[in-house]
Structures are given as structure tokens and as C-alpha cells.
Structure 1
Amino acid sequence: MLKQRVITALVLVAILLPCLAAEAAWPFAALTLLFISAAGWEWSRLNEAPGARAMLMGAAVAGGCVYLAQVLGLPVWAQSAAVLSTPNLHPHEHGVGLPLAGFSVPAWIWQLAVMLWVLGGAAALKYGTTHWKAVPQLWRRLLGLALLVLAWVALVESKAQGLNYLLSVFCLVWAADIGAYFGGRAFGRRKLAPSISPGKSWEGVWSGMVAVGILAVIWVLVDRHASVDSPSLYSRLLFGLGPIGMVLALVFLSAMSVVGDLFESLIKRQAGAKDSSQLLPGHGGVLDRIDALLPVLPLSLAVMSLCHA
């Protein structure tokens, strides 16, 4: 199993790195579109719609992503992926309903994502263990379509800001997960959601938040003293919201990464599946790898919309 995990990880890194390093936007957009479509296929299978219906779901996710990108004017096919040409920080001035300065997507879309994830996530985690399968298949697939398309659009929007910005969002999720794992093992006493994921604890959640805070401090210092292609999420939040606002935003995003993880665990438990699929040998499926990113990608842009000059 370990050998499989390592080989799969090396292959994924070998494919991903050139796409991240490419000056043009389309290699990264195309690769991530493939992955998000596979996640749509997995979502459909986990929600009692396998076979042709799952393939249709994957195609619908891809089509929805491309259509929304075209409508919003995202730089998916641009020859240069970076919108910002300087690492200097700028105020995030914008009018109501308009995109943030330097961004393409109107802020109201990310604010809508907040309502979808916060209210919907809370309802799913509270009632999902008993009522998830009672929701009609069509509505469950439409929900999956909306969540996956929003995540991909947020991913492309984030990549357009520069590699440093995108990696800072990714590493927030990874730091929260790693901190929760080790903190939960060392201090875990009170179970977070035993009916969904028995291994998670409240102490693990707090440990993950602490890990994110430490990461943010280090990253802000790196932004200030190193040559980076773009300001990180942490520097932007510190500049736009101040220290207290940044802390609150990071606590919120760390908490939502846990919600994303629990939501996918709920769906797998309802489906009687250990993994979302076996597309990634040794790692499970695509959803298993991106579950925490699904809420954090759009919601990180939502908190950015609060950064006014």
C-alpha cells in the first residue's frame, strides 16, 4: 500500500508541477478540469447513480465549469495566467456585486457559496446521517454539480493571482489536516462527529487551527522578505482585515475545511464506501483528496471580498 501511495504521488507531482509552472493558464485549467470531472463521476456513484449517469455527471461538471468560466471571463485560455505583475499589496477596492480588484468573478458568487456551505453544511452534518438518502437523487447530483463547479472556478481564479497565492490556500488546508491529525492523536478526548468520522476530535480541530496560525505568521514573513510572484492569502487578509480580522478569517476557513472533510465522509458512509473510488491507487479517489478544498477554495475568496480599502 505504501509503495502504491508513493508511486501515485510521484506521478501526480510529475504531471502537476509543469502545469503549475507554465506561463499559460490553460495547462493548469485543463488538468484540474479533468480531476474535477472525475470527482463528479465519483459523486454520482456515491449517490446511487453509477454507470452512464455517473459519466453524464462528470461531463456535466466539465461543461458547467467551461460555461461559467466563459460567462465570467476567467483567464482560462490566457497566454499569461498571472493577473498581478507585482508582489506589492493593493487595497481590495470594489463596488457592491463587482469583482475584487485584480479578480474576474463577482464577489456575490463567493458570498452565495458561503451561504451554501455554511447553512447547507450545517444541515447535512446535523441531519445527514438519517435523511441524506431521503433527498431525491436529482437534487443530490445538482448539489454536487454546484459545489464542484464553484470549487473549480475558485481554483482557476486563485491560480490567476499567482503561484504563491494558490499554494497559500492549498497549504492552509494541509496544515489544518496535519495539525488536526497529530493534535487529535496527542490530545483527542471529545469526539467531534462520532457517527460520521469516529477518529476526529475537537482537540484535533483546535490543533489544526493553531497549525494554520503558525503557518500564516511564517508565510507573511516570507512574503515580506522574499521575492514572490504574488501576495499570499495571509498577507492579503492581514493587509485588508488587520490582525484580528485575519485570525477570524483563518479560524473560519480552518473550520470549513473540517466541514468539507466531514461532508464527504458522511456521503461515503451513507453509500457504504471506504473510498470515493480507486482512481488514485493507494490514495482512494479524487474526492478523498480534495474534500477539504471544496469549501475552502470559494470561501477564501469570499473572505477576501471583505478586504476593503
Structure 2
Amino acid sequence: MLKTRVVTAVVLLAVLLPVTLFAPVSAFGALIALVVVLAAWEWARLLKFEGVGAVAYAVLAALALGASLRLGTGWRAVRPLLEAAAVFWVLVGPFVLLRKPVLSQGAWRLFLSVAGLVAFVACWHALVVARTLGVSFVLSVLLVVWLADIGAYFAGKAFGKHKLAPAISPGKTWEGAVGGWLAVLVIASVAIAAHLFEPTLFSTLGTKVGWLRAFVVLTVLVAFSIVGDLFESMLKRQAGVKDSSGLLPGHGGVLDRIDALLPVLPLAMLLIG
């Protein structure tokens, strides 16, 4: 299993890093579009659309993304879409985690089918807008989620005692969440103080709103990275599966890798907008 995870990670990095670092924005957008469509297919499967239904949903996501390009890819053009996605994550995400409705039946299934299209298309646009601001900027946005995840893992292993959401994801702890949050704030502090790799999300926040408010914004982003992660965990638990798919051997599915990014990306771009 470890060998499979390593091989998959190396292949993914060999594809994603050069495109992110060196390719034009159009190539970056094309790659992210593929990621988004695959994630949409997995989302449909978690909502118990089987076979052709899940494929049709993925095709619909691709068509929705194509249609959204008519709006343009600039900040002003995509802001309403980002706001719609943000409203979903801020209002519906916590409600679902608290009330735990059955998501793959009835009105919830229909609602999440529509909301999923908005979330995936908004995720694509947020990443493309971030990439137009610079490679260092888009990497810094991704770094918030990566640091929160890595920090939570190690802090949870070392100090985890109090379960964060035992009915949804028993492995997550409050101590881990705090560790991830601290990891983000420490790196952000260093980046802002040392003016590293500017422009970044950290330097932009520091310039626009000051250190204190920048830390508040980063706290919000870390919190919603957890919401995105738990939301997908709940979908998987209700669907009776461990991973969203087996597309990434040793790592599960595409949605497993981007679940925390779905709320963070539109929120980050709106909060600096």
C-alpha cells in the first residue's frame, strides 16, 4: 500500500507541478477542468447515481463549466458564482454536519446535485483567478489547506484526545484541528514578516487588512477546510464507502484530495477581493 501511495503521489506531482509552475494559464485551466469533472463524477456516485447517471452528471458538470466561461474568467465576472458557492458552504455545510440529514434521498439529493455543479465550477474559476495572480499566489492558497491537513495529522497523532466529529470522522480531533490552525498561522507569520515569494495570499491579506485581520481570515479558511473535509466524509459514510473512488491508487479518489479546497477556494478569493 505504501509503495502504491508513493508511486501515485510521484506521478501526480510530475503532472501537476510542471503545469502549475510553468504552463500558461490556459493549460492550467484545462488540467483543473479534468480534475473538477472527475470529482463531479465521484460526487454523483456518493449521491447514489449509478453507472450512466454518474457519467451523465460529470458531463453536465463539464457543460456547466463550459457555459460559465461565457461570463469570462476575470474577478468581476466570476464573483457572483463564487458568492453562490460561499453561501452554500457557509450556511449549508455546518447545518448538514450538525443535523446529519440523509443526503442521497429526496430533496437533499436534488439540492446537492445542483449545489455540486455550482461548487465545482466555482472551484475551477477560483483556482484560475488565483493562478492569474501568480504561481506563488495559487500555491499559497493551496498551502493553507495542505498545512491545515498536515498539522492536524501530526498534532492529532501526538495530542489527540477529544473527538471533533465522532459520528462522521472518528479519527479527527480538536487537538488536531488546533495543530493545523497553528501550522497555518506560523507559516503565514513567517511569510508576511520575511516577504517570502510575494505575491501570496498571506502578503496580500497582510497588506490589505493588516496582520490581525489576516489571521482572522486564515482562521476562517482553516475552519472551512475542516467543513469541506467532514462534508465529504459524511457523504462517504452515508454511501457506505471508504473512498470517493479508486481513481488514485493508494489515495482514494479525486474528491478525497480536493474536498477541503471546495469551500476554501471561493472563500479565499472573495475575502481578498
Q: 1:261·1:291 contact (CA, 8 Å) conserved in 2?
A: yes
Deviations 1:75-105 (A, max 9, x none): 7xxxxxxxxxxxxxxxxxxxxxxxxxxx454
TM-score normalised over the length of structure 2: 0.94
Shift of residue 246 of structure 1?
0.4
TM-score normalised over the length of structure 1: 0.84
Q: 1:104·1:157 contact (CA, 8 Å) conserved in 2?
A: no
Q: 2:188·2:202 contact (CA, 8 Å) conserved in 1?
A: yes
Shift of residue 18 of structure 1?
2.5
**What is the aligned partner in structure 2 of residue 289 from structure 1?**
257
Shift of residue 22 of structure 1?
3.3
After TM superposition, list the pairs within 5 Å mapping 1:9-48 onto structure 2. Answer: 9-48=9-48
Name the % identity: 44
After TM superposition, list the pairs within 5 Å mapping 1:145-156 onto structure 2. Answer: 145-156=117-128
Q: C-alpha separation between the residues in 2 aligned to 1:43 and 1:23?
A: 28
Q: C-alpha separation between the residues in 1 aligned to 2:161 and 2:270?
A: 33
Structure (1/2) with the larger helix percentage: 2
Q: 2:81·2:118 contact (CA, 8 Å) conserved in 1?
A: no
Higher Cα Rg: structure 1 or 2? Answer: 1
Shift of residue 255 of structure 1?
0.4
After TM superposition, list the pairs within 5 Å mapping 1:64-143 onto structure 2. Answer: 64-71=64-71, 73-74=72-73, 103-105=75-77, 107-128=79-100, 130-136=101-107, 137-143=109-115
* Match status 1:191 vs 2:154: no
Deviations 1:258-303 (A, max 9, x none): 0000000000000000000000111100000001111111110121
Shift of residue 20 of structure 1?
1.5
Q: C-alpha separation between the residues in 1 aligned to 2:253 and 2:220?
A: 26
**What is the aligned partner in structure 2 of residue 175 from structure 1?**
147
Shift of residue 108 of structure 1?
4.3
* Match status 1:299 vs 2:271: no
**What is the aligned partner in structure 1 of residue 217 from structure 2?**
249
Shift of residue 23 of structure 1?
4.7
Q: 2:85·2:118 contact (CA, 8 Å) conserved in 1?
A: no
User: Among 271, 275, 296, which residue is 2:243 paired with?
Assistant: 275
Q: Supply the AA of the counterpart residue of 1:119.
A: L
Q: Secondary structure at the match of 2:170?
A: strand
Q: Secondary structure at the match of 2:103?
A: helix
Q: Supply the AA of the counterpart residue of 2:212.
A: I
* Match status 1:264 vs 2:232: yes
Q: 2:78·2:125 contact (CA, 8 Å) conserved in 1?
A: no
**What is the aligned partner in structure 1 of residue 116 from structure 2?**
144
**What is the aligned partner in structure 2 of residue 89 from structure 1?**
none
Q: 2:88·2:115 contact (CA, 8 Å) conserved in 1?
A: no
Q: Supply the AA of the counterpart residue of 2:113.
A: R
Q: Secondary structure at the match of 1:278?
A: coil
**What is the aligned partner in structure 2 of residue 2 from structure 1?**
2
Change (3 A) 1:293 1:196: same
Q: CA RMSD in A?
A: 1.6
Shift of residue 232 of structure 1?
0.2
Q: Secondary structure at the match of 1:74?
A: coil
Deviations 1:189-215 (A, max 9, x none): 221110000111111111111000011
Shift of residue 135 of structure 1?
3.8
Which 5+ residue runs of structure 1 have no aligned equivalent?
Answer: 76-102
Deviations 1:233-278 (A, max 9, x none): 0011111111111010010000000000000000000000000000
Deviations 1:153-199 (A, max 9, x none): 11111111110000001111010011111111222222111000011
Which 5+ residue runs of structure 2 have no aligned equivalent?
Answer: none
Q: Secondary structure at the match of 1:199?
A: strand
**What is the aligned partner in structure 2 of residue 233 from structure 1?**
201
